[in-house]
Amino acid sequence: MSFSMIIYFNLLILLIGIFGMIYSRDIISAIVSLQLVVISGLMNFLVFSHFLYRYSLWDRMFIIPGVTVIYLVMFCLIYYLYLNKDKLDRQELYRDFRLFKITKSDWWGEDII
């Protein structure tokens, strides 16, 4: 595969990830969309390293701790989700969750629970 082909494919993954974050209606889809953005960043590192720098050390130095930390944070979120919520709550969460939900109470008046 050529460099430009990989970059276009990478851009497609990034756009799918961003679209997923905006459009998804449950938390797991939102987290999967975030993973797509991570994969896009990861591919950038690997592609640039392969085509531009002929395998420099810096990309691996960044990727290994970077990805470890990202997945650690995501793992904590998912673990917390399953640890705290019973089945009924989880169903509710899966049904009505938006990462960028904007409601009237965020701007004006009281926040009704």
Spell out, one character per residue from 33 to 72, where the chain touches other proteins: x when CB under 8 A holds, - when not. Answer: -x--xx-xxx-xx--xx--xx--x-xx-xx--xx--xx-x
53-72 in b/e form (b: 16+ CB < 10 A) is: eeeeeebeeeeeeeeeebee
Q: Pick from 84, 100, 97: which is nearest to 28 by CA?
A: 97
Count of residues that interact with other proteins, criterion CB under 8 A: 50
Task: Output the smallest distance, CB 16 to other proteins, in A.
Answer: 14
Report the candidate in 43, 33, 48, 35 with the shortest Cα–Cα distance to residue 11. 43
Note the residue count of the chain.
113
- The minimum distance between CB 82 and other proteins, in angstroms, equals 10
Binding site for other proteins (CB under 8 A): 14, 21, 27, 30-31, 34, 37-38, 40-42, 44-45, 48-49, 52-53, 56, 58-59, 61-62, 65-66, 69-70, 72-74, 76-77, 80-81, 84-85, 89, 93, 97, 99-103, 106-111, 113
